[in-house]
Structures are given as C-alpha cells and as structure tokens.
Chain A
Amino acid sequence: MDLLCKYAAEDADITFQLKQILEGELKENGLENLFYEIEMPLLRVLSIMERNGVRIDSEALRQSSEILTAELLVIEKEIHDLVGFSFNVSSPAQVGEILFDRLKLDDKAKKTKTGQYSTSEDILEKIRSKHPIIGKILDFRGLKKLLSTYIDALPLLINQRTGKVHTSFNQTVAATGRLSSTNPNLQNIPIRDAQGKEIRKAFIPDDGCVFLSADYSQIELRIMAHLSGDKNMLDAFNSGLDIHTATAAKIYKIPVEEVTSDMRRKAKTANFGIIYGISTFGLSERLTIPRAEAKELIDGYFATYPDVKRYMDECIQRAKENGYVETIFGRKRFLSDINSQNSVVRGFAERNAINAPIQGSAADIIKIAMVNIQKRLFAENLQTKMTMQVHDELNFTVPEVEIEQARKVVVEEMENVLKLKVPLIADCGVGKNWLEAH
C-alpha cells in the first residue's frame, strides 16, 4: 500500500483514538464548557481573523525605512568620528575591542564563551556615562533592531495573493490561557516609545474603512477586585476614580486631591506588582526605593485592601490542596511545585497561583467577547472585520458607514461578557491607522 496513504490514515486513526481519551478527560476535569463554549467557537473566529488578515501600509514603512536607515548611517559616522577610524558597528567583536582594548572603558570587562568581550545591553548601560560612544552604539543597535524585526520585516509578510498580513493565532502556547501569535508576533510590538508608534502607524484599515481599536480598561485589577471581593477596592473602582490615584489616597490616608504623581506611581506599581506576586525586594528594585519603604508600601497596601491579602493566601492554599488553580471559567493551571520543600521553587509556583486565575480569567473574558462580537457582526450583517487581538485589545477594520454600529457592538459585547462585582469597561477609538485608533 502507498506509504503516504498509510501515514495519513494513521494520523487520522491516532487523532480519533486520542479524542476518545481527551473527551473523558475534559469531562472529568470540568472543562467541557470552556472547551465547547469558548475555545471551539473561538477557533472559528480565529480562522476568520486569519483569513481577513490586516492591511499594512508598505509605502509608509518604506519611507520610514529610508529615513531610519539614513539616521542609522549618521549615527554610524558619528561613532566612527569618535574613534577616529571606521569599523563595523554591527559586529559585537569589533565593538568590544574598541571599547575595552582601545578606549579601555572597563578594565574588568567580561568575555564570553567564544573569547569575545560581552557588549550586551545591560553591560553597556552600566558604562554609559564613561564615553559618549556608548549611547550612540545603543541607539545604533535599537534602530537596527527596529528596522530588521518590524519596519523591513513586516512588508515581507504581506501575502502576494491577498495583499495582507495574515497573522497566525495560537490557542495552545501560553500557559496562562492567553492567545499568542506569530508572523508577526503582535504581542511583542513595542507599545509606548516612538519606535512602537512608527510600527503602529503602518497598520491601516481597508479602503473606505477606518481602524477601530477597543481595549479593556484595567481588566486584571478589576478581576482581582472581583475575585477578592475586597470592599475598599470595589469602592475604588465603583467610584469611577482613577484606580491608582484612589489606591494612593487610601494607602497614604489623604484626600484624592492631595495625591502627588509620585504617590500615584508607587500605588500603580504596587497594584500591578501585587497581581504578579511581587516581593518587598522586587518592589524596592522596581521603584528604586529603600527596602524599608517598599515594605511599608506593601504593608499599607494590604492594610488598605485586606481581602486582597486574604485572596492571595487562599489562592496559594487552594493550589496546595488541589495541585492547581482555576479561572472564573474553570481553566486550570497545574502547579506541581507548590508543595516543594524548597522556598525558591515554591515561590515561583506561589506567584503563579496568585497570577494565573487573574490573567487566565482576563484571557477567558476577551475570548468570549470575540466569539460574541463575531456572532453579532454576522447577525447584524455588518461588513466590519475583526483583524487582530493583542492582550486585552481587539482591532477591526470598519466601513465608514458602520462606525457607530460597530462601536456599539464591540463595546457592548466586550463589557457584557459577564457580570462582575465591578463594571467591565472597554475603551474604543477610531482612526486612520492603529496608532490613531489606539
């Protein structure tokens, strides 16, 4: 018999047999709802998104590329002028020699396995102040990376047949339950800095359409407020105030109007740090404050939100008893190290025990929103197309005549996935491109 036949038939046979096993496993683990009602319908939505693809303004990227390449050459020349002769700035070996053998910027410079000087970013950052050339080398590298990973790479991903970029979404990669994507990896695009903006500008809507971008506001903190049921945190959200300002006011026991930007910054770091199980040490590093102050901040935080502390302890307790933690929709994260006798190993598992239900629930929620939005787009016969999902954000290309209807559908479906003890809020913007819409 033809071997291709044998291989292909066997593949189907194995998958069939696996299915019989997995079906039982899903049931035993209470995962049927998550599987049949969320992941399988989502699979269809993702296939639609992948087929839709997203339009890229390759002309704009070509222009950016020209400008940035010219900039790159200028920086390269400046670097050569500083040294007095030309060398290959892209070669770490040559950079190492220049910095450490010629300029002698660090007499304790480390060498790598291959006998070269290490010129990694963190090493250069440490000696940045010693010579203006360092800053220039870092700029050179940053620009070069931006060009090679995005500006010059994105146009290459454009499918010749459709003229669009068709990202692949993967439902089975991230341990938390989040989606991941490749070609391009949307989760990785820099957000805030000027460079990220250049990239976002190049994602554009179809002809006659606008780019619509909607994202959940503070979804992870809202989920923590919901799961912990902490009265003060619920109040803070329900008051409609900025959550970090409200948190700062409570920690420092002052009226909201007296919260300084520094206090807000600290409260914000604490808010997000707590979700990820940050330690006193971690917080002090992050905020560059003394450990004693970090400890005070954390103590103040837990005094303000006592049920958050209780919730965290319960998560760990639950993980210890069951060997796993769960999201609101029953997605499990198994934590076999939770009972380790070793505190470092255990610590990792404990942080995951706190974080997984929060991040995983956020992932469940946006997945449900995607399924429901697509249903409504079909039901209301809209031409709006969902194109990308990035963390807590959904992006669409929307015909101009449908803007208001699409906005309504998207925001309603995102906010009404389920009723939490605090409102789910989705912010929505439109524009000529991703940057403007976001």
Chain B
Amino acid sequence: MDKKLFLIDAYAIIYRAYYAFIRAPRINSKGLNTSAIYGFVNTLEDVLKREKPTHIAVAFDPSGPTFRHEAYDLYKAQRESTPEDIKLAVPYIKKIIQAYNIPILEVAGYEADDVIGTVSKMAEKEGFTVFMLTPDKDYGQLVSDNIYMYRPKHTGGFEVMGPAEIKAKYDLDSHEQVIDLLGLMGDSADNIPGCPGVGEKTAVKLLKEYGSIDTLLTRTSELKGALKEKVENNKEQIVFSRFLATIKIDVPIEFNEKALEIEPVNDAELKALFDELEFRTMTQNKFGAKPFTSLPPDEATNAIQFARPKSPAGQMSLFDAFDKPEEKIIARQAPKAIQVLEPVAENELLTLKNVSYNYQLVDTKVKRADLISKLFMQKSVCFDTETTGVDVFTAEMVGLSFCFVKGEAYYVTLPNERVEALEVLKEFKAFFQSEHIEKVGQNIKFDLLMLSMYGIELKGKLFDTMIAHYLVQPKSWLVEKEKIRWIFVLSIWICFANMLPKMPILPFS
C-alpha cells in the first residue's frame, strides 16, 4: 500500500475554526468557548474519513520563543497575542489528539511550519506522499511532486495543491518564489510585514521582472517613482520578511516512521472528552450510541416536540443530542439558550438522586378545593399548563401544575371532554383572575394565551422566568446556580423520558 502521510498545522486550523464561529461562538454549560476544539475535531474527522491516511501527525508551535524571535525582536513585538479562548482550548485539543493516538510534534525553538517542512522532506525520501493540512500560503514553498498542500476552503472541502497549482495560483515561475512573494507582499496571517505599499499584483510583477528579492535589491535603480522609493526605503524589512517567510527544513528531529502510523482511536478516552466538552452530536456521529439508549429514535423525536413549547433555557438543548434536523426547531425556539447552555455530561445525572420532593396528583373535586384554598393564601404561585400542542388555537389543555413551596407541587388533571374540562377550570378562574396573586411561569405568554382560549383571563403581576433569565444573562450567573438549575432540568427530562413509551397521546408544554 502507498504510504500517505498527513501533517496538520494545529494552530492554523485552530485559529481558522475559532474565527469561523466568532459571531456565534459555541459555549458549553461551563462557560468554555469550544469553537476551536469543535472546528479542529471536525477537520480532523473530515480528513481521516476522506483520505484514510496511513500515517499522520499534528504539529504545534512551542509556547516559548523560536529562532525567529531571537533573530528579530520586531517579530515578537508585532505578534498579536493568542485569544484567551484559544489558550484555554489548546490543552483539550492536545488531549483529544492523544485520544486519537496521533503523535504531537512540538520542537522548542521552531514553529510548526518548520517541523512540518522538515518532516515532509524526510518522509518524501522514504517514499511517502505527504499532505500538509494548512490554510497558510507560506507552505507553498515546500511542495514537490510528492508533497502537497491540503488547503481547507472557505466553501467547504479541501484543495490539493502541488507545484503546478501553486505556480498557477500566484502566477509565479516556480513555487519556491512563494518565499520572495511573501517577502514583498507580506502575510498578515503569519505576521510577515513585507514591503509597505506592495500588494500581490506588484509583487508578482516585480518577480516576473527580477526573479528574486536578491536580484531586485541589487537593481533598484531600474525602478521608478513611488515604487522605487518604497523598495529602497524598506530593504531591511524586505530581507527580514523573506527570512520570516522561509520555512526551515533542517529542524533537529528524527524521522520515526513507525510512530507516525495510524492507530485505532482510544474510544473510551475520546468519548469521555466529548462528554466533558458536551459534544453531543459529535459523540453520536462518532460512536453511534445515543446518550439515553433506552429511547427508540421515534420517541426521541417526539420528546423534542414535547419540550418545544416550554423550553426553559437549558431544557431545550438537552435534546440537542438527538437528531440533527431537530436542531433547527430548537434553535428557532431558544437560540440564545443554546449558545450559552449545552447539556451537562451524563455522569452529573447521578446528583439527581439527592433531590427530594413531594408531588401530588389532584384528580378529585375535594382535592381541587383543598388546593384552591391553599392557592388563595399565597402571594405568588408558579403554574404551568399541559397541552396537546403548541398552537394555542387548536391545542387542548390536559392538565395544570402548581407550585408555591420548594419541592412541593401539584398536578391537576383535566377531563378529555372540553365541556367537562371547562367545568373544572372554572373552579380555578377566581384564582387566575385574582389581581393580588403573582403568577410565575416559564414562557408564560403561552399559558396566558392557552387560558384565554378557555375563557380565563390571567390577571395580577406576572413573572416570566424565561424573560428574567434573558435579562440577567446567564453569563453573569454564578457557576453554583447553574449547577442547581441543571439538576432540576435533568430531573424533568428523566421523568418524561420514562413516561413516553406509555403515553399514547403526547401532551405538550
């Protein structure tokens, strides 16, 4: 079998992924921005599936200075610092790569492109076809008949570039001229300043004429006007830029073919990481298993509908784990919540067992009368309507729940016949129309409309927890509070997940 080596420029892919999500970053329930991690894993998976490499490695820039820093202080000075979110993401990405059993290449004093350059050239000698996975232009100088750039495209997919493609893309005579090209035009992605005022077009024109920076600089007298001035005034910066653009191919490392061989993934480790990061869809794609395997897929879909009308911020996103198409519905309902709160890991479910509660079924007139007398003694009551659908014009109410003391709640069942249901609801009418009792609910507009369909006007002060949550912004919440909330949200989930198979008609809300 042909030996096919993939070398991944980690930071280039990480930055690219991070910025791709910058307008709507993926943030999990712990507040970690997972855009970069998610994007990196996606790219890695994509390549593994698409190309089935026989050998692979990921190269990282070392944390300390490199020979480029040492050579020029200026290089360090103008380097933009790494976004904080990326700094936090990198340790996770390294752990993930380890779980994939892929070697990490990191050499003190050298950047990832030098390491990849060196390894590429060594591998070529050993009969490999090498693909360098990176969007960065400077890698163009390294290509050969056996070494290719494998560039992710903005439109999705990848572009494979050898010497011919590089020459064509930049209109150069040889792919090695990429160094001189970048030396002149600079490359903001790589912190190469280039010659001020010289863009790609001018740089290409100059190289067509003079072939290289060296020749150009000895013949600047032939240039005219502003260009002459620019080049002559920036000789030092041009040489410096060329130095920065030149990738080293003699980094002191050994080529260990065996170590680069593709190996099976450590599933348990990877799954644990995905769980920690709350990559539900990815877990499903990679491992197939749904987080709650007791649910057949159909019920899972219904479960999503079931939760749709209400959606406490996090409750919705719990179902993120299921079928991809449903995400659209979820996103429409509570995209904000999705951004900040993703499902918690399975292992946190255990904490549920510690929650104590006293819930009562209210299914007789006597019990209702007892409940109503209690309701009238409250200043504030939380309630919720259970219905058969999300469209208030067609949905039927099947029940009502109430709570006014922590851990104590009541569920009132309503008869199937609308006429009878109206009779029962009448008993509660005075409570709902009381101006003195505050009514609390999650997305209470739905309940308000639902009650109005049964001729009941909801009066009194309102408190919608969904809107309050939106105003205070979850990010400002203390972690502790988030945790409490999750315990409850999950307990709901477990309850109705258990209930579903027994329910012929699904109640909504």
Most chain A CB inside 10 Å of its own CB: which residue of B332, B484, B485, B498: B332
Instruction: Report whether A6 and B359 are in contact in the complex, using a CB–CB cutoff of 8 Å.
Output: yes
Instruction: Report whether A18 and B462 are in contact in the complex, using a CB–CB cutoff of 8 Å.
Output: no
Instruction: Report whether B81 and A342 are in contact in the complex, using a CB–CB cutoff of 8 Å.
Output: yes
Q: Give residues of chain B (346-366) contacting chain A, Cβ–Cβ below 8 Å.
A: 357, 359-361
Instruction: Report whether A3 and B495 are in contact in the complex, using a CB–CB cutoff of 8 Å.
Output: yes
Instruction: Report whether B406 and A16 are in contact in the complex, using a CB–CB cutoff of 8 Å.
Output: yes
Nearest CB on A from B25, distance (A): 9
Instruction: Report whether A2 and B393 are in contact in the complex, using a CB–CB cutoff of 8 Å.
Output: no
Instruction: Report whether A50 and B449 are in contact in the complex, using a CB–CB cutoff of 8 Å.
Output: yes
Which chain B residues lie closer than 8 Å to A17 at the CB level? 406, 484, 488
Binding stretch for chain B, among A34-42, A124-132, A313-321 = A34-42
Q: How far apart are the CA atoms of A3 and B502 in the complex, in Å?
A: 9
Instruction: Report whether B448 and A43 are in contact in the complex, using a CB–CB cutoff of 8 Å.
Output: yes
With an 8 A cutoff between CB atoms, is B268 at the interface? no
With an 8 A cutoff between CB atoms, is A23 at the interface? yes
Instruction: Report whether A343 and B80 are in contact in the complex, using a CB–CB cutoff of 8 Å.
Output: yes
Q: Give residues of chain A (205-224) contacting chain B, Cβ–Cβ below 8 Å.
A: none
Instruction: Report whether B357 and A172 are in contact in the complex, using a CB–CB cutoff of 8 Å.
Output: no
Instruction: Report whether A22 and B469 are in contact in the complex, using a CB–CB cutoff of 8 Å.
Output: yes
Which chain A residues lie closer than 8 Å to B463 at the CB level? 19, 22-23, 40
With an 8 A cutoff between CB atoms, is B404 at the interface? yes
With an 8 A cutoff between CB atoms, is B256 at the interface? no
Instruction: Report whether A15 and B471 are in contact in the complex, using a CB–CB cutoff of 8 Å.
Output: no
Given contacts A34-B471, A50-B449, A344-B22, contact A15 B441 (CB under 8 A): yes
Q: Give residues of chain B (398-451) contacting chain A, Cβ–Cβ below 8 Å.
A: 399-411, 413, 440-442, 444-445, 448-449
With an 8 A cutoff between CB atoms, is A149 at the interface? no
Instruction: Report whether B19 and A344 are in contact in the complex, using a CB–CB cutoff of 8 Å.
Output: yes
Q: Which of A15, A34, A110, A120 contacts B382 (CB 8 A)?
A: A15
Most chain A CB inside 10 Å of its own CB: which residue of B391, B399, B445, B448: B445
Nearest CB on B from A363, distance (A): 12
Which chain A residues lie closer than 8 Å to B157 at the CB level? 111-113
Which chain A residues lie closer than 8 Å to B77 at the CB level? none
Residue interface mask A180-224, B partner, CB < 8 A = 1: 001000000000000000000000000000000000000000000
Which chain A residues lie closer than 8 Å to B406 at the CB level? 13, 16-17, 20
Instruction: Report whether A112 and B155 are in contact in the complex, using a CB–CB cutoff of 8 Å.
Output: yes
With an 8 A cutoff between CB atoms, is B51 at the interface? no
Contact size range, B: 35 or more
Instruction: Report whether A334 and B476 are in contact in the complex, using a CB–CB cutoff of 8 Å.
Output: yes
Q: How many A-B contacts if CB must be within 8 Å?
A: 220
Instruction: Report whether B467 and A171 are in contact in the complex, using a CB–CB cutoff of 8 Å.
Output: yes
Instruction: Report whether B82 and A336 are in contact in the complex, using a CB–CB cutoff of 8 Å.
Output: no
With an 8 A cutoff between CB atoms, is A7 at the interface? yes
Instruction: Report whether A12 and B384 are in contact in the complex, using a CB–CB cutoff of 8 Å.
Output: yes
Which chain B residues lie closer than 8 Å to A36 at the CB level? 461
With an 8 A cutoff between CB atoms, is A63 at the interface? no
With an 8 A cutoff between CB atoms, is B153 at the interface? yes
Given contacts A4-B507, A12-B401, contact A172 B470 (CB under 8 A): yes
Instruction: Report whether B495 and A19 are in contact in the complex, using a CB–CB cutoff of 8 Å.
Output: no
With an 8 A cutoff between CB atoms, is B287 at the interface? no
Instruction: Report whether A43 and B444 are in contact in the complex, using a CB–CB cutoff of 8 Å.
Output: yes
Report the nearest A residue to B442, measured CB to CB.
Answer: A15
Q: How far apart are the CA atoms of A296 and B410 in the complex, in Å?
A: 68
Given contacts A9-B359, A47-B448, A340-B83, contact A334 B473 (CB under 8 A): yes
With an 8 A cutoff between CB atoms, is A304 at the interface? no
Instruction: Report whether A18 and B312 are in contact in the complex, using a CB–CB cutoff of 8 Å.
Output: yes
Which chain B residues lie closer than 8 Å to A4 at the CB level? 386, 399, 411, 496, 499, 503, 507
With an 8 A cutoff between CB atoms, is A379 at the interface? no
Instruction: Report whether B471 and A35 are in contact in the complex, using a CB–CB cutoff of 8 Å.
Output: yes
Which chain B residues lie closer than 8 Å to A345 at the CB level? 22, 83, 85
Q: How far apart are the CA atoms of A342 and B19 in the complex, in Å?
A: 12
Q: How many residues of A contact B (CB 8 A)?
A: 64
With an 8 A cutoff between CB atoms, is A381 at the interface? no
Nearest CB on B from A373, distance (A): 18
Which chain B residues lie closer than 8 Å to A120 at the CB level? 155
Report the nearest A residue to B22, measured CB to CB.
Answer: A348
Residue interface mask A313-338, B partner, CB < 8 A = 1: 00000000000000000011010100
Instruction: Report whether B467 and A19 are in contact in the complex, using a CB–CB cutoff of 8 Å.
Output: no
Instruction: Report whether A341 and B84 are in contact in the complex, using a CB–CB cutoff of 8 Å.
Output: yes
Nearest CB on B from A9, distance (A): 4
Instruction: Report whether A172 and B466 are in contact in the complex, using a CB–CB cutoff of 8 Å.
Output: yes
With an 8 A cutoff between CB atoms, is A161 at the interface? yes
With an 8 A cutoff between CB atoms, is A67 at the interface? no
With an 8 A cutoff between CB atoms, is A173 at the interface? yes
Instruction: Report whether A13 and B408 are in contact in the complex, using a CB–CB cutoff of 8 Å.
Output: yes
Which chain A residues lie closer than 8 Å to B441 at the CB level? 15
Binding stretch for chain B, among A24-32, A389-397, A410-418 = A24-32
Q: Give residues of chain B (451-509) contacting chain A, Cβ–Cβ below 8 Å.
A: 452, 461-473, 475-477, 481, 484-485, 488-489, 491-492, 495-496, 498-499, 502-503, 507
With an 8 A cutoff between CB atoms, is A118 at the interface? yes
Report the nearest A residue to B85, measured CB to CB.
Answer: A345
Report the nearest A residue to B493, measured CB to CB.
Answer: A7
* A to B CB contacts below 8 Å, 18 in the list: A2-B361, A4-B496, A5-B359, A7-B495, A9-B401, A10-B492, A13-B406, A14-B489, A16-B404, A16-B440, A22-B463, A110-B153, A161-B394, A172-B467, A182-B332, A341-B81, A342-B81, A342-B82
Contacts beyond the supplied A334-B475, A341-B81: 6 A-B pairs with Cβ under 8 Å = A1-B359, A3-B499, A9-B401, A9-B403, A12-B383, A35-B467
7 smallest CB-CB distances across A and B, nearest first, come from A3-B499, A9-B409, A9-B359, A16-B382, A341-B81, A172-B470, A12-B403
**Chain B residues in the interface with A (C-beta under 8 A):** 19, 22-23, 80-85, 153, 155-157, 310, 312, 332, 334-336, 357, 359-361, 380, 382-384, 386, 391, 393-394, 399-411, 413, 440-442, 444-445, 448-449, 452, 461-473, 475-477, 481, 484-485, 488-489, 491-492, 495-496, 498-499, 502-503, 507
